[in-house]
Amino acid sequence: MTRRPDAPSEPLASFAKKDLVDIGSLTRPEIQLVLDTAESMREINQRTIKKVPTLRGKLVANLFFEASTRTRFSFEIAERRLSADSISFSAAGSSVSKGETLLDTARNLMAMKPDAIVIRHQASGAPHFLARNLPCAVVNAGDGTHAHPTQALLDAFTMRRAKGRLEGLRVAICGDVLHSRVARSNVELLTKVGAEVTLAGPRTLLPVAVERTGARVVTRIEDAVDGADVVMMLRVQKERGGGLGFPNDREYFELFGLTPERRRLAKKDAIVMHPGPMNRGVEIDSSVADGPDSVILDQVEAGVAVRMAVLYLLIGASGDE
Ligand code: CP
């Protein structure tokens, strides 16, 4: 592909995809391409003027049917940094509250000719449904307990920056695996790129047939963290019933919380991750969350670069203007 003058500074290959709805639909080279493109976007984010005209004239609609801080703001910032026009939609205050269906809502938005729709929805499969029914690009910003592909990509980007590689990394993902779309997408991505993943959680918060994911599965956090390069803690998702899997927060923290003592079981130079929002004192001790090994805010920073990369590759790299 010939690089346009307004494109980020590194030459970028094309990305022959209409949508990004899950990690399963990405090949290892495509994952690599997103991460490499995000490096170029990160460079833009370090500049004094953090804006390029790459998506000028493109319209992105952000449809958030579920609460979000990090994902929603980072998509909006990504769109602005690439000079796209964007509109943001919340279910509350829209005609969804009058009973309009997802498809009708999306078709009506489609009549306004967006180039991409970014959707977060409580129903697993909602982004796939829109991707099948709409001609524009659809990006999954988290659907039910199913997938959160841009989170897995930003997590991989953060790990690669901190550790210099993904292949061979020992990654422990601990907590409420049952309700976690973040865990599901991370396992898919990390096993695809050759990392060794261990999932840990109380038996009540592990999905049925979790072993089929390709990850090692344990029920003691100590067994997962021991010798790990990366320790990723998961939020207990009380809004999805995660709190029913154990007696109370204090007991959960005692058995599964990442304390300084448990962190010391990992490699000396291990990094600590959490997708946010955190339940401090439940799945993670504040001294670890805010400690020297924590890359939790690096993950948030990476979210902007990765989402810029995804939007660029889906709707900006075709050179069709
Ligand atoms: N990690 C994540 O998806 O955070 P938000 O729910 O705040 O977007």
Tell me the per-residue pLDDT of 195-238, one tens digit each, with 9 for 90 and over: 999 999 999 999 999 999 999 999 999 999 999 999 999 999 98
Alpha-carbon distance 103 to 109, whole Å? 10
For the segment 153-172, the average pLDDT, to the nearest whole number, is: 98
Question: Is 321's pLDDT higher than 80?
Answer: no
Alpha-carbon distance 105 to 178, whole Å? 30
Which of 62, 66, 69 should be mutated for ligand 1, with most atoms under 8 A from CB?
Answer: 69
CA of 74 to the centre of ligand 1 (A): 10
Q: What are 119-151's pLDDT values in tens digits?
A: 999 999 999 999 999 999 999 999 999 999 999
pLDDT of 14 reads: 66
Closest C-alpha among 82, 71, 215, 238 to residue 155: 71
Residue 211: which region, alpha, beta or left (left: phi > 0; alpha: psi -120 to 50)? alpha
Q: What is the maximal distance between C-alpha atoms in the chain?
A: 59
- C-beta of 276 in contact with ligand 1 (< 6 A): yes
CA of 102 to the centre of ligand 1 (A): 21
